[in-house]
Chain A
Amino acid sequence: MPNPVDVCIVGMGAVGGIMAKELVSAGLKVVGLERGPLLEFENYAYKDSIRAIARRQLEERVKHEPISIRPARGAKTRLQYTTSPSNSVGGGLMIWTGSATRFTPDDFKVCTNDVQGGIAKRAGADLKGYNIADWPITYDDLEPYYERFEWEMGVSGKSGANPFEGPRRKDYPLPQLRPSTRTKLFGEACSRLSYHAYETPQGILSQAYKPPAPYDQRIPERPGCVYCGQCNNYGCHVHAKTSSPFTVIPVALETGNLDLRTRCKVFRVNTGPGGRAKGVSYFDPDGQVVEQSATMIILAGFLYENIRLLLLSGEGKKGLANSSGLVGRYIMAHGDVRTTGLFDDTIINGFIGPNGGMRMDDFNGNNFDHAGLGFIRGATIGTSGGGTPIERCDVVPPGWPRWGEKYKENLARYYTRCFDIGMHPETLPHKDNFVDLDPVRKDAWGIPLPRVTFSFHQNEHCMWRFLGEKCEGIMRETGASHVWTKPSNRGSRWAGGVRMGEDPKKSVVNGYCQTHDMKNLFVVGSSVFPSMSGYAATPTIGALAYRTAEYIRSSDKLLG
């Protein structure tokens, strides 16, 4: 049995990397357990669309980790491999698009502003089935940690470009990335429609960068983006994309205080006397069971894994840290809606990077009047739609042939002449959306799969209809020759399931991501979000990781 350590982190993705660096730098001994490998260059930097897109589920580190998913209780369950498939050190940061927008102050106060503040009534929204809560922390609480994420990890953007963003003490460390044809078209169309488009802040370096003082200067210098266009689902071949193995992981390892153990699959949090977590049990790469004792445990996996581990641990069916009965409840995901435009006269070259681009927040949160609209909250709307030909060959307008001569002619004509406008609509926490343990299906280690029960409900559908028309309006204004809109009906960017709150009866963790039931057990990541906003989660996840690490470092009692 390995020696006890101060902290054991389960999952070495975005959260695990940042927290490990912060904690080992304070002299704590940390074991980082990661179910996947630390990828070698040739296993993340490949440019291979068959491997990265068409056959990703065959990757060794992905195929043993499906989830089961169903739309509702009693419905048929199917296996899915394509969500959170990175399963490697760095996690989602290895393969993300880089969208790095902060949440707004309003995003933390949905109950106060929308429900109690009367916006729901004014909108005539039907909120039956939803359980809407504020965060126990505010934007101001997170602001300094957003800044650390941006300046240590490297985010390119421009303060003030988005009139709806929250107040910030400092600008972004790097100028915006290069514009592309589609960002220009989108930006100009938005201007003509009196919307406020801005270049999305991105976790991709626009030029060579090394964090200056007072930020962590041990983080290595990285080069700027070369605009190869293969961000989403690919690792970065020049390391311009912000990923933990190029930033915080080497710093943490250098201290000698981080024991990084890859291909180790944690299956239980162990508990001891006095209501404390005492360690974890995991399968090592040879399939042997190992027990690791630690003074403090941090669950830093994707939300399915965090929930699954809590439900697998403890006594009885209820699982660990679950006196509220809310572990696994109120999961959320964006239901992306995509409008595509084909251009007869303009070459877009969507395969040229970066994948991210421009957004506008005029219809996000409470940035617009909801009177009579029938829904609360909103979505950010932005451009996307790059990709290798394999990713674009199914982008065909309704009624157009999907094969044959005419299809071929259209593909040859429009592959370089198209782009998408997509929205990230805020999904509200609903009582029927949850994760539990699959009663039948097990993974390669014999552990029950996380079972996701998820559907979009009335507020989402009503919002999609309204905002789909807005997306189409922008696309028509760009001058596109053919325009159509398609809801995805699939969740993207998942959150919730380990709700953060002040009241132990209504939440699982407090504002420091510490479980109400066990003072030395933390859950950090998008799983703690009470609401999800219309933005991608990564900077908020990073800010929570920095803030929680600081709390742990400053709380002697926790380690006592």
Chain B
Amino acid sequence: MNMIFILMLIVLTSICDTTSQMCLKFSINSLKINVDGIKKAFLFVLMLLRIPRVWVGFFFSTLSLFIWLFVLSKADLSFAFSVDSMHYIFIAFASGVILKEKVDLQRWMGTLLIVVGIIIVTLS
């Protein structure tokens, strides 16, 4: 029972994290700016900070961090890290569906290999 609760919390942090990345990337795409050079990068970030969606992203990112800290205080570190590796799958899925990125078979295979590899590394 307790284990299922922790598992659900880890899924929740992954979802929050994915949501925050979606907010940020969606906003960046909407700016359509070519960032070259340090000066342009600062200008670009200032423009980003004026978009409310970016702050929604910050909120989810902070929320994800707090849930994660709570999980780490309860669960085994290697278990938590191996379950958390599924957020790569969430990111790939959401990037394809929401951001309309072309996530082809090769990219999916690569992402799945990374997840499997992380599970092996953290559990060994």
The finding on whether chains A and B are genuine partners in a shared complex, rather than unrelated, reads: no
A interface residue numbers (CB < 8 A to B): none
B interface residue numbers (CB < 8 A to A): none
